[in-house]
């Protein structure tokens, strides 16, 4: 995983820098998402691993992408093909999204709760996380009835476990130590 991150970072950064300079963040997001899905395709993955000439692989990849990828996107795909890095496209796309989110000062906050949150509860979570993260918050809510009560909040690497089960586990650990 860390190797893929290292490989993907310069491509994601280059695409991001170009997109910021040309005010095409959404367009690049769409292109990279499409290209990443193509790279995940089982047939395409076999072709990427086949040892074909990079020019041939780039041409095939660009043909599959068709009009979904513009000339600048095709140039990125050609460079990645020359370096044998097209398989890293899903990671490039993921890192690109992170760069865009950071650039836009937004955070995707994922909340899993035992019951559906009311509008007031959602507002309270948004306000608390906006204050804590110093960013605009986009809230994504899911329900997991197995939680019994409370919620789990996830933002990137931060996890806040405020479930009944989590509290009981922490209390049990404290009693055992």
Residue 52: is its pLDDT beyond 60? yes
Rounded to an integer, the average pLDDT of 3-11 is 86
Rounded to an integer, the average pLDDT of 94-102 is 90
Cα separation, 108 vs 53, whole angstroms: 40
CA pseudo-torsion sign 27, 8, 52, 36:
negative
Cα separation, 127 vs 118, whole angstroms: 14
pLDDT band at 2 (very low <50, low <70, confident <90, very high): low
pTM of the model: 0.63
pLDDT digits (tens, 9 = 90+) for 116-141: 999 999 999 999 999 998 888 999 99
Radius of gyration of the chain (CA): 21
User: Could you write out the three-class secondary structure of the chain?
Assistant: CHHHHHHHHHHHHHHHHHHHHCCCHHHHHHHHHHHHHHHHCHHHHHHHCCCCCHHHHHHHHHHHHHHHCCHHHHHHHHHHHHCCCHHHHHHHHHHHHHHHHHHCCEEEEEEEECCCCCHHHHHHHHHHHHHHHCCEEEEEEEECHHHCCEEEEEECCEEEEEEHHHHHHHHHHHHHC
Rounded to an integer, the average pLDDT of 102-115 is 89
Lowest mean pLDDT among 58-62, 103-107, 158-162: 103-107
Domains of the chain in sequence order: 2-102 (1.10.520.20), 107-176 (3.30.2320.30)
pLDDT of residue 169: 87
């Amino acid at each position: 995983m860390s190797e893929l991150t290292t490989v993907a970072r310069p491509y994601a950064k280059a695409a991001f820098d170009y997109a910021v300079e040309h005010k095409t963040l959404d367009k690049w997001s769409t292109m990279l998402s499409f290209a990443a899905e193509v790279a995940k395709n089982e047939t395409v993955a076999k072709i990427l691993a086949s040892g074909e000439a990079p020019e041939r692989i780039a041409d095939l990849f660009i043909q599959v992408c068709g009009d979904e990828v513009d000339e600048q996107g095709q140039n990125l795909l050609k460079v990645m093909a020359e370096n044998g890095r097209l398989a890293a496209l899903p990671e490039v796309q993921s890192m690109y999204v992170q760069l865009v989110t950071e650039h836009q000062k937004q955070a995707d906050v994922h909340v899993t709760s035992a019951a559906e949150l009311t509008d007031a509860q959602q507002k309270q979570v948004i306000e608390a996380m906006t204050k804590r993260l110093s960013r605009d918050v986009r809230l994504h809510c899911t329900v997991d009835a197995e939680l019994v009560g409370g919620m789990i909040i996830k933002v990137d690497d931060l996890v806040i476990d405020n479930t009944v089960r989590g509290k009981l586990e922490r209390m049990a650990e404290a009693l055992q130590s």
